[in-house]
Chains A and B, each alone.
Chain A
């Protein structure tokens, strides 16, 4: 039997065990409570088991709150519902299965899961979401009201560089920034002239000299209205004549052809280079393939020694001399004289 089949068989045992327990509990509960359906007991079991497994955090995460008519405060041990009551049991039980550390992440997950379930139209969780959703919408309404109704900063306040927050605090009804800025700008003093713009006069400097400020919006509008065509930023930076149409836009077919050829050539070159790197240069006899590197064994002093003398690596043990130099006759090691034993 394969592993999957074995697992599936074991799962069936577990499932049957659960069903058996439900049926057993039905009998037990029916002794206490008359006229009760099995599905209700199954629900109670599932809730109790989930509390045990997750330390009550799972139900808290799903939006169960104290007084919500569901399971009570599951996450808090001091809750008044069944889950809260049972959490003490679960905490002691799950010391070997799940610890209290689970409670914190599940509580954090709660709102997200609750809202997901709410989006799915889950009735059981809807009362948890009903508490949260109106809060958000009311908040948005409150935020938008003072922003539109606030009094704008005056021109004098802007020129005096008054802090809008300070002004708002002093007026007690807030300051509408949206209406403040256009009003202040439109009522600015004399705008920059065309010659000033061309000369690159800093509006701030001009404003400081006039003492009444400069309306940037009006300045720019006036400059354009007078028929002056300003250079683009790129043109100013390069100090050259306006760029002509590109080659590509003039000759699209040629560009396409060249692009294809160029891409093809580049691909061929790249492929050829890669192949050469892999296979090595065939014309250079004895050369190593391009991407190969000299192995450590080739630098082995013993191998170098053997290669220099034309000795096969495998037979090198025959040529160990240990000072058996040419002067000494180069006699093989095993034939050297030893101390004779009588």
Chain B
């Protein structure tokens, strides 16, 4: 394991993503290799969502069970408000995050999260369900909920990484999205390489510095040179138009 050449630099940011990105770059700069930061644990389990008719039927039956009549909430007794209509339990996002991470880190919750990720559930969906449920329980208000979205998603992602699962981040099957980007980038890189070579040939840059006087004698056998001299005008370029 490489020894870091220096300590971490202080990072100030209002975004967890930004801090994580800067930390990774800082770690690389300090002497860590990417394998030390994110060790390879072999092939990952693909958390691919598969169509399930039973699941779809259940969702349809749940949605068909009726919804509140428009305006129903307005006739509720003001003396008995819903949990989310009352002052929240956690007004401080720090306390709320503390509470949420504590819940996620419970062994039972971890087991469910790992199972869900392996079955193709998206990180965003899991995080939203967890946060929305706690919001309806009156733990925090919608503003704090949105502040918690990013850190909670990252914690779930870390659990997925620890479990060696290739998970979906958004609601669709996007687990190969980054690989596709890599492939596109690779193809683009090879195309650029080809274009550069082609341009070089086109511009004759490959001939630069090549002069007959600089060619060392004896490099090409004399009999071949004689043949070239003899058949010079008849030698056709490989790219020339063939005989019709």
Q: Report if A and B associate in a common complex.
A: yes
| Chain A residues within CB distance 8 Å of chain B | 3-4, 6-8, 10-12, 14-19, 21-26, 28-29, 32-33, 36-54, 58-59, 61-62, 67, 69-72, 80-82, 85-86, 88-89, 92-93, 96-99, 101-102, 105-106, 109, 112-113, 115-117, 120, 122-125
Q: Is the CB of B39 within 8 A of A69?
A: yes
A58: chain B residues within 8 A (beta carbon) = 101, 105, 155, 158
Closest to B174 in A: A19
Q: Is B225 an interface residue (CB 8 A)?
A: no
A25, A44, A125: the one within 8 Å of B162 (CB): A125
Distance to closest chain B CB from A12 (angstroms)? 7
Complex CA gap A14/B3 in Å reads 35
B10, B28, B155, B177: the one within 8 Å of A53 (CB): B155
Instruction: Flag B1-25 by CB within 8 Å of A: 1 or 0 each.
Output: 1011001111110011111110111
Q: Is the CB of A49 within 8 A of B16?
A: yes
A62: chain B residues within 8 A (beta carbon) = 158-159, 162
Q: Is the CB of A23 within 8 A of B181?
A: yes
Given A11-B128, A37-B179, A116-B111, does the pair A82, B158 have CB atoms closer than 8 Å? Answer: no
A23: chain B residues within 8 A (beta carbon) = 181
Q: Is B49 an interface residue (CB 8 A)?
A: no
A-B contact pairs, 15 of them (CB 8 A): A22-B178, A29-B34, A48-B23, A50-B155, A53-B97, A62-B158, A86-B8, A88-B8, A89-B8, A98-B101, A109-B107, A112-B107, A113-B110, A116-B110, A120-B111
Distance to closest chain B CB from A176 (angstroms)? 39
Q: Is the CB of A7 within 8 A of B8?
A: no
Q: Is the CB of A52 within 8 A of B19?
A: yes
B98: chain A residues within 8 A (beta carbon) = 98-99, 101-102
Q: Is the CB of B162 within 8 A of A124?
A: yes
Closest to B23 in A: A48
Interface of chain A: mostly helix, strand, loop or mixed: helix
Given A43-B161, A86-B27, does the pair A38, B16 have CB atoms closer than 8 Å? Answer: no
B4: chain A residues within 8 A (beta carbon) = 85
Given A45-B17, A109-B106, does the pair A53, B151 have CB atoms closer than 8 Å? Answer: yes
Complex CA gap A255/B3 in Å reads 85
Q: Is the CB of B38 within 8 A of A43?
A: yes
Distance to closest chain B CB from A46 (angstroms)? 4
A45: chain B residues within 8 A (beta carbon) = 17, 20-21, 24, 154
Given contacts A22-B178, A23-B181, 16 further A-B contacts (CB under 8 A): A7-B142, A16-B170, A25-B24, A26-B178, A32-B28, A36-B34, A37-B179, A41-B38, A42-B161, A54-B105, A67-B1, A81-B1, A89-B11, A109-B105, A120-B114, A123-B164
Distance to closest chain B CB from A160 (angstroms)? 52
Distance to closest chain A CB from B82 (angstroms)? 12
Q: Is B55 an interface residue (CB 8 A)?
A: no
Complex CA gap A89/B12 in Å reads 10
Complex CA gap A227/B41 in Å reads 75
Among residues 192 to 225 in chain B, which have CB atoms less than 8 Å away from a CB atom of chain A?
none
A69: chain B residues within 8 A (beta carbon) = 39
Given A37-B179, A62-B159, A123-B41, does the pair A7, B169 have CB atoms closer than 8 Å? Answer: no
Q: Is B188 an interface residue (CB 8 A)?
A: no
A8, A14, A25: the one within 8 Å of B153 (CB): A14
Given A36-B34, A39-B178, A120-B111, does the pair A46, B161 have CB atoms closer than 8 Å? Answer: yes
Closest to A38 in B: B178
B7, B29, B155: the one within 8 Å of A54 (CB): B155
A25: chain B residues within 8 A (beta carbon) = 21, 24-25
Q: Is the CB of B36 within 8 A of A7?
A: no
Complex CA gap A78/B170 in Å reads 36
Q: Is the CB of B105 within 8 A of A15?
A: no
Complex CA gap A93/B18 in Å reads 12
A26: chain B residues within 8 A (beta carbon) = 178, 181
Distance to closest chain A CB from B57 (angstroms)? 22
Complex CA gap A334/B33 in Å reads 100
Q: Is the CB of A12 within 8 A of B170?
A: yes
A12: chain B residues within 8 A (beta carbon) = 124, 170
Q: Is the CB of B105 within 8 A of A113?
A: yes
Given A11-B128, A24-B21, A122-B164, does the pair A39, B153 have CB atoms closer than 8 Å? Answer: no
Q: Is B120 an interface residue (CB 8 A)?
A: no
